[in-house]
Amino acid sequence: MQSLAGKVAVITGANSGIGRALAELLATEGCHLALADINTDNLQSIALDLRQHGARVSCHQLDVADRTAVFAFANTVLADHGSAQLIINNAGVAVSQTIAELSYTDFEWLMGINFWGVVHGTKAFLPHLQKNNEGHIVNVSSIFGIIGMPTQGAYNASKFAVRGFTEALRQELSTSKITVSCVHPGGIKTNIARSARFYQGIGGQRDACRAAADFEKLARTSPEQAARVIVDGIKAKRPRILIGSDARLLDWIQRALPASYPKVLAKLLRKN
């Protein structure tokens, strides 16, 4: 997919952060857009701005954890836009808690959005892409889909699952003209930390406001920068898209020291 002009892009989690930045950038690339989020506070104003670029934009309230709703959403998008070529499963949430104390309620809530939301979005649109033998599926994992971290067991589980699911899908579609990419952002300046279900952070920290502030200090990449890296990756048909110098460094550490990287990370965290 070298040129994006005229393509229909579907973006979940489009109300803010990377999703919103992607919508804005893809509109300038000539895409038409189907924007979805469970929180639609900003979607209409976003759509109004994007239509000034000539984009055809539809807005949808959607809980990606609800399989029936996602399949209905796909049918609506295809009816409204006539097609869809770029599927970006971006919606995500966070829970910070030790595995010993993590509740099943929080675990299931997070997996429903972070993992099952990706599965639902992929399977809802995949038959359409296969029928036309074209398109690009972009699933957003995380650097935490490459490394494990204490108090991030649920988030790690979901993002490792997205990575495995996406890599298997890529192999299954390797003889088709459908491209599959897995995105691994590092620290991005979004609202995910402030909207997380926060109970206990690294080092036993329990102050949610302080933890969110600390995350923002470590987050080195803006949503706009992340969107540019993703769009460039889409154009280049990259199977794996790492975002940020922190993500590239941590990926390198994990590959170089697969058994002992936690010790290195612990030292880096103490320095910060």
121-138: pLDDT as tens digits? 999 999 999 999 999 999
pLDDT at 214 over 50: no
Torsion sign across C-alpha atoms 243, 244, 245, 250: negative
Assess whether pLDDT exceeds 60 at residue 28: yes
Q: Residue 267 — pLDDT band, cuts 50, 70, 90?
A: confident
**Model pLDDT, residue 266:** 80
pLDDT for the residue 260: 86
- Strand 135-140 to 240-243 pairing: unpaired
- Region of residue 151 (phi > 0: left; psi between -120 and 50: alpha; otherwise: beta): left
pLDDT, tens only, 238-256? 999 999 988 998 999 999 9
Mean pLDDT along residues 48-65: 94
Global confidence as pTM:
0.90
Query: Taking 80 as the threshold, does the pLDDT of residue 116 lie above it?
Result: yes
pLDDT given for residue 204 in this prediction: 47
Whole-number pLDDT of residue 213: 47
Tell which wins on pLDDT, 44 or 220. 44
pLDDT band at 80 (very low <50, low <70, confident <90, very high): very high
Structure tokens at 166: 């996406």
Average pLDDT of the segment spanning 199-208: 53
pLDDT > 90 in the chain, percent = 75
Average pLDDT, the chain: 89
pLDDT above 70 for 199: no
Told to judge if 104 belongs to the known catalytic residues of this protein, a careful annotator would answer no
List the Cα angle 242/246/247 in 5-degree steps.
Answer: 25
Mean pLDDT of 79-96: 96
Q: Is the pLDDT of residue 27 over 80?
A: yes
Q: Percentage of residues in the chain with pLDDT exceeding 70?
A: 86
Q: Does the pLDDT of residue 14 top 60, yes or no? A: yes
pLDDT exceeds cutoff 50 at 203: no
User: Regarding the domain delimited by 8-246, which CATH topology (the fold level of the hierarchy) does it fall under?
Assistant: Rossmann fold (3.40.50)
pLDDT score at 270:
67
Q: What is the DSSP string of the chain?
A: ----TT-EEEEESTTSHHHHHHHHHHHHTT-EEEEEES--TTHHHHHHHHHTTT--EEEEE--TT-HHHHHHHHHHHHHHHS---EEEE-----EEB-TTT--HHHHHHHHHHHTHHHHHHHHHHHHHHHHHT-EEEEEE--GGGTS--TTBHHHHHHHHHHHHHHHHHHHHTTTSSEEEEEEEE-SB-SSTTTTSEES--GGG---HHHHHHHHHHH--B-HHHHHHHHHHHHHHT-SEEEESHHHHHHHHHHHH-TTTHHHHHHHHHHH-
Cα separation, 115 vs 78, whole angstroms = 23
Which of 221, 155, 160 lies closest to 187, judged by CA? 221
